[in-house]
Amino acid sequence: MAIPADPDGTLNEVTDGILHVGVTASGEWVELRPGGDPQGVEPALVQDFAKTLDAEIEWVQGSERELAEGLKLGELDLAVGGFADDTPWVTDAGMTLPYAETTDQRGNTIKHVMLTPLGENAFLLNLERFLLEQEVAP
């Protein structure tokens, strides 16, 4: 048995299965196109990550609130949308380690993270290992 394990088995389910990814538009990080898959830095990362698990991606669009709700209810496995490590959604969702840093117009450092379901630690650790190996630049 691998430690950590997922209480709800997310990693097992998405491997060779379907990865439900929630997206919300956020500048160059997530660009939504009518009739096409989301583009941008984060969708590209998610696509590469899905490949490592042989998973098909099902994109779901929504507001940040809807994505947080989806993660909480177990309808989503992952959410991207320019989230930073000071995101207020941490009571509803788990958060990866920051995998990229940028600076906004006011000179504040933004540490970029992705959101996962609460407590699905095997899936989270797997995603983090993947993200930390990437060279991410917007």
Partner 1 sequence: MSSTVRFGHTELPEEQQDALRKAVKFEWITLGFLAVGTFLVFLVLGNSQAMKAAWIEDLLSFLPPISFLIATRIIRRRPTRNHPYGFHRAVGIAHLVAAVALLVMGGFLIVDSGLGLVTAEHPTIGAVQLFGETFWLGWLMIVAMVLTGVPPVYLGIVKMKLAKTLHDKVLYADADMNKADWMTALAAIVGVLGIGLGLWWADAAAALVISFSILRDGIKNLRAAVGGLVDTRARTYDDSEADPIGARIDGYLSELDWVFEARSRVRDEGHVFHVESFVVPKKWARPTMKRLEAARIECIDMDWKVQDMVIIPVAELPEEFLPGVSSSGGERA
Footprint of partner 1 on this chain (CB under 8 A)?
1, 3-8, 94-97, 116-122, 124-125, 128-129, 132
Least distance in angstroms from the C-beta of 20 to partner 1: 18
User: From CA 7, how far away is CA 59, in angstroms rounded?
Assistant: 24
As measured in angstroms, the least distance from the Cβ of 65 to partner 1 is 19
Nearer to partner 1, 6 or 64 (CB): 6
Nearer to partner 1, 97 or 110 (CB): 97
Q: Which two tokens stand for residue 50?
A: 């899905």
User: CB 112 → partner 1: shortest distance, Å?
Assistant: 15
- Whether 123 and 131 have beta carbons less than 8 Å apart is answered as no
- Give buried/exposed letters for 94-116 (b at 16+ CB in 10 A, else e): bbbebbbebeeeeeeebebbbbb
In the complex with partner 1, the residue whose CB is nearer, 30 or 118, is: 118
